[in-house]
């Protein structure tokens, strides 16, 4: 293949990837805004929106967690804490398998003041079915992040 064509294809792919990343960020922002509007009006947040609240990366998690900041419109609410608990409860209380991987991904962001709650929920999920936990994290990018990594090693997941 001609070197110039190879460079052109690579640049086109990079541009497309950048576009996709930007679109995903917009989608996350829109979903976060939609969830927060439902929350402040005391309306039920549909499962589809709740699932999309689970961040894909640290940038999205930062946006989600920033809702606890005093200068954020949700800063005087428990939006972050209540919606994360809703996500975990879909697995723990309702045994909703649609939320299983999302709950593990959410738990992988455990840090700071909310870490204890995230880890507690993770432990409950693991206790429900250790084998499912081990199978589910196999090959996932967040399996190398604590606390997932810690529990993976503790439970001798392969």
Which whole-number Å values give the CA distances from 60 to 31, 53, 124, 132, in the listed order?
A: 11, 9, 25, 27
Paired tokens of 34: 């939609």
Rounded to two decimals, the pTM is 0.83
Place of tokens 């995230």: 118
Cis peptide before 147 (omega within 30 of 0): yes
CA pseudo-torsion sign 39, 84, 32, 47: negative
Q: Mean pLDDT, to the nearest integer, of 35-58? A: 96
Q: Mean pLDDT, to the nearest integer, of 121-127? A: 98
Question: How does DSSP classify residue 97?
Answer: G
pLDDT band at 6 (very low <50, low <70, confident <90, very high): very low
Whether the CB-CB separation of 92 and 128 falls below 8 Å is answered with: yes
Rounded Cα gap, residues 64 and 48, in angstroms: 16
Give the residue, 17 or 87, on which the prediction is more confident.
87
Residue 26 has pLDDT above 70, yes or no: no
């Amino acid at each position: 293949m001609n070197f110039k064509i190879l460079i052109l294809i690579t640049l086109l792919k990079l541009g497309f990837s950048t576009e996709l990343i930007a679109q995903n960020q917009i989608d996350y922002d829109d979903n976060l805004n939609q969830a927060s509007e439902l929350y402040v009006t005391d309306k039920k947040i549909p499962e589809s929106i709740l699932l999309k609240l689970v961040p894909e990366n640290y940038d999205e998690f930062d946006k989600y967690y920033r809702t606890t900041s005093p200068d954020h419109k949700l800063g005087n609410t428990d939006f972050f804490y209540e919606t994360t608990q809703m996500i975990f409860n879909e697995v723990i209380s309702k045994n909703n398998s649609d939320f299983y991987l999302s709950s593990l991904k959410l738990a992988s962001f455990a840090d700071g003041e909310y870490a204890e709650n995230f880890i507690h929920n993770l432990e409950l999920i693991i206790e429900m079915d250790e084998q499912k936990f081990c199978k589910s994290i196999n090959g996932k990018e967040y399996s190398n992040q604590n606390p997932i990594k810690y529990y993976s090693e503790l439970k001798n997941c392969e």
